[in-house]
Amino acid sequence: MKFTSRPTAIVLGLTLAAAALAGCSEEAGGSSSGGSEAGACAPEDVTLVGQVRNESNPYEAAWLDGGDAFAEQVGLTQDRLTYDGDSTRQQEQISQLLAGDTECLVMNILPNGDSDTPPIVEGAEEAGAYLVTQWNKPADLNVADYDQWLSHITYNGVESGKQIGDALAEAIGGSGGIVALQGILDTGAAKDRFAGLEESLAANPDVELLDDQTANFSRDEALAVTKTLLTKHGDDLKGIWAANDDMALGALAALEQAGRTDVAVVGIDAVPDALTAIEDGTMTATVSSDGPWQGGIGLAIGFCVATGELAVEDIADEDRAWFAEQFLITGDNVGDFTSPEVDAADFECDNVFSRSQGAIS
Amino acid sequence: MTSPAGADTEVVLPPRPQPRRGVSLRDAGPPIALAVIFLLFALISPGFRTIGNVQNIMDAAAVLAVVTCGITFVLMMGSIDLSAPGVMGAAAIAVSLLVANNRNGNDWGLLGVLVAVLLAAALGCLSGLALVLLKVPSFMTTLGVSAVGLGVATLLFGGVQPNISDEMLRGWAIERFLGLAYLTWIAFGCVLIGWLIQCYSRLGRYAFAIGGAEEVLALSGVKVAPYKVAVFTLAGAFYGLAGVMVTSQLSAGLVQAGKGYDFAAITAAVVGGTLLTGGRGGILHSAVGVLLVTVLTNGLVQVGVSPYWQGGVQGLIVVAAVAAAVIPQRRRNQVTK
Amino acid sequence: MSTPVLATPDVGPTGDTAPVKGGPTLGQRLTSFMPVIALVVLLAALTIADPDFLTQRSLTAAVRTSAPLAVLAAGATLVVLCGGIDLSIAALCSLTTVLFAMWLPDLGGLTTLAAIGVAAAIGAVQGLAHVVLRIPSFIVTLGGMSIFSAVALVISDAGPIRIVDRDATKWLTLYVGGVVPMSFFVAVLVVAAISLVLKLTPLESFVRATGYSESAARLAGTPVDLVKVAAFTVSGACAGLAAIMLVSRNFSGSPTMADNLLLPAVAAIVVGGTAITGGHGSLWRSLVGALVITLLRVGLPIVGVPSAYEQILYGAIIVAAVALTLDRSKVLIIK
Amino acid sequence: MTTHLQSQPDAQASAPVHALEVRGLVKHYPGVKALDGVDLVVHQNEVLGLAGENGAGKSTLLKALVGLVRPDAGEIWVRGEKVRLRSVVEAADHGIGMVFQEQSLVPNLTAAENIVLGSEGAGVRRGLYRWDTMRKLAQEQLDKIGSQIDPLARTDTLTFAERQMVEIAKVLRIEERTSHPPVIILDEPTSVLESAEIETLFTQVRRLREFASVIFVSHRLDEVLDVCDRVLVLRGGQSVGEVSTASAAPAELHRMMIGSTGSEDHYHDTAAERSDQPLQPRLVVKGLSGATFRDVDLDVHAGEIVGIVGVHGSGREDVCRALFGAEPIEAGEVTLDGDKLDLSGTRAACAAGVGYVPAERKIEGMVGPMSVADNMTLTKQKSRCSGPLVMPQKQATLVDKWIERLSIRTPHRGTAIQRLSGGNQQKVVLARWLVAGDIRLLLLDHPTRGLDIGARSEVYRLMRELANSGVATVLLADSLEEAIGMSDRIIVMSDGRATAEVGCPSGAKPTPLDLVKEMV
């Protein structure tokens, strides 16, 4: 891999220069661009792809399992892709995927961050693959502007942040100091949820936010940060607001190690461990996000459009980008959520938008 | 001297200073830096200088200390080890599935811990074998083994979070002795064992020697390869124990249990005075480095530095600490890699 | 031997000045092509696993994907050839995506140059810190990594910054001759340009001398410090260029965008057969290494390998690839 | 012809049994026949000298004897038993051990560990060190050679000579491995020793002879004749004859080594064309001070060779490096041809026409894996460039010219320099400063260290020619004889100061004793 001789080097250089002059084009040769005819696909020709960060956390593993359940329901299999929380790798996988056969491709994607959504959308649009995204989307990107981007589903993060904030305030008796554990700082979810907390704080003026630190959605980091915060604020600390359940569970472990039982903890996502903790009474509240349903619903919308049972034009604008139904889970109602099941009826074509709580404003 | 031609220009031996056995400036730098940073934080932040916080720092340093024990031996040889995340992940999942847990009926207790550590040691051994048999640089073998470890962990994880209910293992993180968690005492034990290995075992001394002059060992008829494999195996075992400790702290087995510990441990070892080129430093140096890094992390939170800036400030201080340690020893024609 | 030694030797006919002929043997030539062989083998294996993989569209996509990684790796290769290591490339690349996105509305067409220039300057600062303060490059760039990340987070307010005016990066999304993605073409151009400059000037021997034996290079009057600073500068500039490629791909800049490319970039360098200890290797090797790593990163999941096995395979294959490509005759002791 | 070729050894005749016998050893390297049927016999309790120029096959032969090189043909017999030696350990098991030329100790271990390295015996029990035992074992070895070194001192805190003693103590460990008398090989053991230690070493060698056989290799022929019973001469990979030291003189040995009558004038002191010395010295050093030297004054005229002598720690090496900008200075002024010399770094010195040949050739002098051509043209860009571009043709022509002019033996200009012999490497390093023809001051730090007589002689001739063509030279010689033989003037340094100056003109040379008086 070295120039073995000077002539080679020069020839190579000239070739490159010549190639550059030969001209550039907008498209890769041989790429068949443009969308496929909606509804042209036979059900058995549809390819279902689900992509999440990794299979090593329960929420996203359950998501993919939900996708599998839906695929089985329609007699197909789902390609499970994971990108290990690596934005570039997600883009790389998508562009590789779209370079293959995109005729009847249905993708249910969890973009790593807001900024990862636009290239995925543009790629799908160009290649004619059916796309449903969840969680992350820049606010100014309008789903209705695209033909192949069928829908964007998320939970109202501001709402969830506020709900658990209120629950926390109630649990500590309406006054006292709390700390916030933030998620990965440059994700929309983390920001929305924290904005929700701020709304809640405004409504509960006696609750004081002593500190906010990031623990990157990670249980391990939350443990270390909470320990430090516990020593820093000592008994002033009455409650911990965590932007997801993993961090809440890390905070619980720190509290246990510190021998503190007087601190209330809230999280978001309703992962099984958090539900158990709420049942045990060690955790105060969480907000449900239904992983298995999310894994199935995206594929279901795409499948319905691909097979012609649903037309893009017929999808109402408020169903192009919508908040899915969520519930505040506390000790009172935790029993209802401990065994989430995929309900096949949710994935029927005329039922796919049934959990909508309204369009994203 | 019978022949004048043998006379050398260097005729007289000047009195030679006695060989240094004490502490040199190079060794003293990191502890001084630790003391300075500690005092600085103590002055700035009242929360920092409480007994509770010092206990907290010691507890928080435990896992990193154990990882660093392992990596120090590898660095002493002049190799590098990036396998901690994978090996720790595999050990964490393995132990959480072997002791009493919510996924299966196993209740192996201490034996489960042992098996997890052995699994980790086996992964470490794999790095070492690839290094000596395939002659692939350790940078790559350990990177590869880390990926393999994460793969194994993901396989074992199987989509459902394993939570441990084993009281003994959970107790390690909760029970305290003389104000410190059992885990912290385990870390102390690891540092002590590491130090004993470094000073009193052939493995440790040879690891040191390999970093000093590997070719000489071969000339002396020492087969270096088995010792290299053994060092990586030992390092793997330490990572495994660290993975178990993380599991004990979180009461759950995480695939990501070791995320970030590779660079954190290397940073700690280097800040403590272990050279990446090998042959210098040791366990005690690394222990100081671990405390330095932990004090920094803790102090920055205590002082209330914005979370956005914390990483940056930490990086700056690490560079400054190393710079302060090397600047007095600069020479004109010194090689810096 | 009566000629005064110092007289400038008269340049005689070249025919009688070469005492003995001797070039690389067949074996050595084969070793230098090992990275390509590894690439072909990997491609063949992926094709066997999924015959659809070997289509022109699919290969074009793979090549396009590899461009930022290749540019990152190429720049860092220079530092590695000098015997150092640059761990800051990925963080610097992320920072540059943010800078680019922030400056684009004001600077317009000049943004590309400005962003690359600033990245190069930051690289130079790291190089200076390394040679002036004599701090090991590992530490300088490890520190740089966290500092750049922090700066990127702060100035971007921890969020992505979207690019509205896409014309500034549109050229990178074109295709040369209809098949070769412009970004990859640029990557090849960068590698060719740097390689040519090295080859045609004394720089190559400076860089190699510095990597093989820094003290000997210094005592031979080689500008060791300058060469190192230059290597870090080029590495920084390459990180900047890679950032622009990422922005052209993602239509936004984000403070963590490239952070995960660090280990793949270093892996690309080593898989290409460049010795991590310095001196031996080349940028072309890293280019091929980047293709190998890209195929592994995107190819394995696309052909349907489950995620757990994918990681195990990835680990095993990079080790095997290095076992194939490393020319051990140039590296005496493997650490 | 005093060369009496060794009689073909007779396998049947069992008596007398030789301690070591080598028959027809052959070893090929690509392009080179390093050993071409070497025969050698070592008797019990004798010291056999081995002489030969660099490239005569000495190193390969020795390496074959300790199992580091596997011969292509030939046999090795130890005490009447044919053996195959595949590693250092196997050689040690047969009682053969070697003190290597390049110091082979681990710098960051203690002396004791180095001594017992690889054969710790009772010093390590179940993988654990027993420091007391180890110290005792090491002390036993050190006592054998009467050394006072603290066994628990770290090796890198010891002096060069002390480390050599540790090496000898280490090799004597093979006595514990075998019940037979061992064969000890000493490869250039004196090249880095100071004279007091050389004497100790010789006493050691004579003591070793009481219970062992010794093969002694040195490039200093007088030493060989002094300490050995018999000397075997190698040339071109063959044994060309042996002499008894009782009757031989260095000149005779030398003649056998190079195959013809050697030049009588070893130092090529031709004293020609040196009358027209300009009044103004080329190099003027005033009050130069640094970390290890103080107020050094020095001047060197064009065409003059000035030797600096001094004991270990005199600071002369650092003065030399400081003049090249490789060592920081605290005070002082240096001018070259009247212009102030910039001492801020090596680049400035190179640009001003100052050249430096370091003592540690392999670490500091050359870039091992790079080609002869690149090593030769590394410094002077105009020797290979036109503008900023390297002109391969220009470089090749120039390099080949110098390869020929200095008779550098290399297969090709593209060959890695580390594959050449020491003498040829040194010639390439010297050539680096000559290719541009702008050299004004040459600083030579032990330029002949580790070179054989032939190579030394060529380096001396080169120095002479350079001086005659007007180069000012500062020489840190390997020995007082070399300093006296080569220099026109000698500066004596001690404790970082220049303490005396001794004139050394051709025909009126001082004796080594005169210098030693000034030095102490």
Which member of A3, A9, A115 has the closest CB to residue C162? A115
The mean per-residue pLDDT over the stretch B247-252 comes to 91
Going through D264-402 in order, the beta strands assigned E by DSSP cover: 283-290, 296-300, 305-310, 329-336, 339-340, 354-357, 385-386, 389-390
Is the pLDDT at D14 greater than 80, yes or no?
A: no
Is the pLDDT at C112 greater than 90, yes or no?
A: yes
- Say how far apart CA C301 and CA A1 lie, in whole Å: 29
Across all residues in chain D, what is the average pLDDT? Answer: 82
More confident residue, C251 or C128: C128
More confident residue, D451 or A351: A351
Amino acid at D213: S
* pLDDT tier for residue B15 given thresholds of 50, 70 and 90: very low
Which residues lie closer than 8 Å to B77 by C-beta, 6 or more apart?
A: B207, B210, B211, B228, B231, B278, C335
- Say how far apart CA A58 and CA B164 lie, in whole Å: 15
Neighbours of C10 (CB within 10 A): 8
Which residues lie closer than 8 Å to C109 by C-beta, 6 or more apart?
A: C168
**Chain A residue with minimum CA distance to C98:** A115
- What are the two backbone dihedrals, phi and then psi, of residue A258, each rounded to the nearest 5 degrees? -85, -5
Question: What single string gives the DSSP state of each residue in A319-346?
Answer: GTEEEEP--EEETTTGGGTSS----GGG
Q: What is the pLDDT of residues B268-317, one digit of tens each?
A: 998 888 877 788 888 999 999 999 999 998 898 888 888 788 888 888 88
Residues spanned by the domain of B247: 41-320
The answer as to whether A188 is a domain residue is yes
Of A171, A174, A176, A172, residue with least CA distance to A234: A176
- Please give the pLDDT value at position A163: 93
Tell me the CATH number at A221.
3.40.50.2300
- Say how far apart CA D426 and CA D54 lie, in whole Å: 12
The answer as to whether B28 is a domain residue is no
Same domain, D1 and D68: yes
Same domain, A190 and A301: no
- Please give the pLDDT value at position A131: 95
User: Among D411, D433, D455, which residue terminates a domain?
Assistant: D433
Same domain, D429 and D466: no
Same domain, A82 and A118: yes
- Please give the pLDDT value at position D421: 82
Distance from the Cα of D431 to chain B's closest Cα (Å) equals 22
Q: Please check whether residue D89 is in contact with residue B221, taking contact to mean a CB–CB distance below 8 angstroms.
A: yes
Size of chain B in residues = 337
Across all residues in chain A, what is the average pLDDT? Answer: 85
Across all residues in chain C, what is the average pLDDT? Answer: 86
Q: Which segments of chain C does DSSP mark as H helices, in order? A: 26-32, 34-49, 56-81, 89-107, 111-133, 137-155, 167-170, 182-200, 203-212, 214-219, 224-250, 262-271, 283-294, 300-302, 307-325
Same domain, D335 and D472: yes
Is the pLDDT at C4 greater than 50, yes or no?
A: no
The mean per-residue pLDDT over the stretch A42-58 comes to 89
Q: Please check whether residue A88 is in contact with residue C68, taking contact to mean a CB–CB distance below 8 angstroms.
A: yes
* pLDDT tier for residue B47 given thresholds of 50, 70 and 90: confident
Tell me the CATH number at B93.
1.10.3470
Is the pLDDT at C150 greater than 80, yes or no?
A: yes
* Chain centre to alpha carbon of residue B102: 32
Highest mean pLDDT among B61-65, C9-13, D376-380: B61-65
* Chain centre to alpha carbon of residue D3: 27
∠ CA(A320), CA(A324), CA(A329), 5° rounding? 170
More confident residue, D246 or D284: D284
Same domain, D337 and D481: yes
- Say how far apart CA B17 and CA D460 lie, in whole Å: 36
Residues of chain D found within 8 Å of residue C132, distances taken between Cβ atoms: none
Q: Please check whether residue B326 is in contact with residue C129, taking contact to mean a CB–CB distance below 8 angstroms.
A: no
Instruction: Report the percent of chain A where pLDDT is more than 90.
Output: 44
Which tokens hold the place of B93? 């999942």
Contact A118 C162 (CB under 8 A): yes
Same domain, D151 and D222: no
Residues spanned by the domain of D169: 106-176
More confident residue, D481 or A246: A246
Which letter does DSSP use for residue D7 in this model? P
Residue entry with tokens 């070895």: D141
Q: What is the pLDDT of residues D121-165, one digit of tens each?
A: 788 888 888 898 889 989 988 887 777 889 999 888 887 778 878
- Please give the pLDDT value at position B150: 93
User: Among D149, D176, D203, which residue terminates a domain?
Assistant: D176
The alpha-carbon radius of gyration of chain B (Å, integer) is 22
pTM for the predicted model, two decimal places: 0.85
Q: What is the pLDDT of residues D411-452, one digit of tens each?
A: 888 888 988 888 889 999 999 998 878 889 999 998 887 777
* pLDDT tier for residue D30 given thresholds of 50, 70 and 90: low
Same domain, D327 and D187: no
| Chain A contact for C189 (CB, 8 A cutoff) | yes
Q: What is the pLDDT of residues D450-492, one digit of tens each?
A: 777 778 888 888 888 888 888 999 999 877 778 888 898 999 9
Is the pLDDT at B188 greater than 90, yes or no?
A: yes
Which residues lie closer than 8 Å to A229 by C-beta, 6 or more apart?
A: A179, A210, A211, A213, A237, B301
Decide: helix, strand or coil at residue B322: helix
- Please give the pLDDT value at position D4: 45
The answer as to whether A32 is a domain residue is no
- What are the two backbone dihedrals, phi and then psi, of residue A109, each rounded to the nearest 5 degrees? -115, 140
Which member of D324, D381, D397 has the closest CB to residue C17? D397
The mean per-residue pLDDT over the stretch D491-505 comes to 87
Instruction: Report the percent of chain B where pLDDT is more than 90.
Output: 47
> Residue D358, preceding bond cis, omega within 30 degrees?
no
Contact C254 A186 (CB under 8 A): yes
Is the pLDDT at B12 greater than 90, yes or no?
A: no
| Chain C contact for A15 (CB, 8 A cutoff) | no
Q: Please check whether residue B95 is in contact with residue B116, taking contact to mean a CB–CB distance below 8 angstroms.
A: yes
Which member of C18, C202, C221 has the closest CB to residue D347? C221
**Chain C residue with minimum CA distance to B322:** C135
**Chain B residue with minimum CA distance to D325:** B332
The answer as to whether B329 is a domain residue is no
| Chain C contact for A81 (CB, 8 A cutoff) | yes
- Say how far apart CA B81 and CA C118 lie, in whole Å: 33
Q: Please check whether residue B28 is in contact with residue B272, taking contact to mean a CB–CB distance below 8 angstroms.
A: no
- Say how far apart CA D110 and CA D49 lie, in whole Å: 32
Q: Which segments of chain A does DSSP mark as H helices, in order? A: 6-21, 58-73, 87-98, 117-127, 157-171, 188-203, 219-233, 245-258, 272-280, 291-306
Residues spanned by the domain of A310: 43-155+290-326+340-359
The mean per-residue pLDDT over the stretch D490-503 comes to 88
Q: For the ranges C241-255, D197-211, D410-424, which has the lowest average pLDDT?
A: D197-211
Neighbours of A195 (CB within 10 A): 14
- Please give the pLDDT value at position B240: 97
Q: How many domains does chain B have?
A: 1
User: D208: part of which helix (H) or strand (E)?
Assistant: helix D195-211
- Please give the pLDDT value at position D68: 84
The answer as to whether B33 is a domain residue is no
Which letter does DSSP use for residue D363 in this model? I
Terminal alpha carbon distance of chain A: 55
Which letter does DSSP use for residue D509 in this model? P
Which residues lie closer than 8 Å to B189 by C-beta, 6 or more apart?
A: none
User: D99: part of which helix (H) or strand (E)?
Assistant: strand D96-99
| Chain A contact for C97 (CB, 8 A cutoff) | no
Q: Please check whether residue C282 is in contact with residue A1, taking contact to mean a CB–CB distance below 8 angstroms.
A: yes
Q: What is the pLDDT of residues D39-71, one digit of tens each?
A: 888 988 889 988 877 667 888 888 888 888 888
Q: Please check whether residue D188 is in contact with residue D219, taking contact to mean a CB–CB distance below 8 angstroms.
A: yes
Q: Please check whether residue C87 is in contact with residue C138, taking contact to mean a CB–CB distance below 8 angstroms.
A: yes
- What are the two backbone dihedrals, phi and then psi, of residue C63, each rounded to the nearest 5 degrees? -65, -40
The answer as to whether B306 is a domain residue is yes
Q: What is the pLDDT of residues D358-369, one digit of tens each?
A: 988 888 889 988
Which tokens hold the place of B71? 């990596």
Please tell me the number of Cα atoms within 13 Å of C172 on its side-chain side: 24
Residues of chain D found within 8 Å of residue B24, distances taken between Cβ atoms: none
The mean per-residue pLDDT over the stretch D257-272 comes to 56
Contact A227 B154 (CB under 8 A): no
Instruction: Report the percent of chain D where pLDDT is more than 70.
Output: 89
**Chain C residue with minimum CA distance to D429:** C220
Contact A28 C175 (CB under 8 A): yes
Distance from the Cα of A257 to chain C's closest Cα (Å) equals 30
The answer as to whether D360 is a domain residue is no
Q: For the ranges A287-291, B2-6, D80-84, D227-231, which has the lowest average pLDDT?
A: B2-6
Contact D128 B199 (CB under 8 A): no
Which residues lie closer than 8 Å to C59 by C-beta, 6 or more apart?
A: none
**Is the interface score ipTM higher than 0.90?**
no
Residues of chain C found within 8 Å of residue A30, distances taken between Cβ atoms: 56-57, 179
Contact C175 A25 (CB under 8 A): yes
The alpha-carbon radius of gyration of chain C (Å, integer) is 22
Q: How many domains does chain A have?
A: 2
Number of H helices, E strands in chain B: 12, 2
The answer as to whether D272 is a domain residue is no
The mean per-residue pLDDT over the stretch D12-33 comes to 73
Please tell me the number of Cα atoms within 13 Å of D375 on its side-chain side: 33
The mean per-residue pLDDT over the stretch A53-75 comes to 89
Contact B9 D479 (CB under 8 A): yes
Distance from the Cα of C334 to chain D's closest Cα (Å) equals 16
- Please give the pLDDT value at position D258: 67
- Please give the pLDDT value at position D253: 77
- Say how far apart CA A224 and CA C269 lie, in whole Å: 35
* pLDDT tier for residue D177 given thresholds of 50, 70 and 90: confident
Same domain, D328 and D382: no
The answer as to whether D270 is a domain residue is no
The answer as to whether B202 is a domain residue is yes
Same domain, D212 and D257: yes
Burial grade of C13 (CB within 10 A; 0-12, 13-18, 19 or more): exposed
Same domain, A64 and A136: yes
**Chain D residue with minimum CA distance to B333:** D326
The mean per-residue pLDDT over the stretch D508-519 comes to 76
Residue entry with tokens 């006054």: A175
Is the pLDDT at D311 greater than 80, yes or no?
A: no
Q: How many domains does chain D have?
A: 4
Same domain, A300 and A203: no
More confident residue, B212 or B23: B212
Decide: helix, strand or coil at residue A253: helix
Same domain, D411 and D448: no
Same domain, D333 and D477: yes
Which letter does DSSP use for residue D361 in this model? I
Contact C311 B147 (CB under 8 A): yes
Bridge partners for D20 per DSSP: D42, D78
Which tokens hold the place of A159? 């709402």
The answer as to whether A13 is a domain residue is no
* Chain centre to alpha carbon of residue C185: 15
The answer as to whether A86 is a domain residue is yes
Sorted by where each starts, the structural domains of chain C and their CATH numbers stand as 56-317 (1.10.3470)
The mean per-residue pLDDT over the stretch A72-84 comes to 91
Of D70, D87, D82, D142, residue with least CA distance to D111: D142
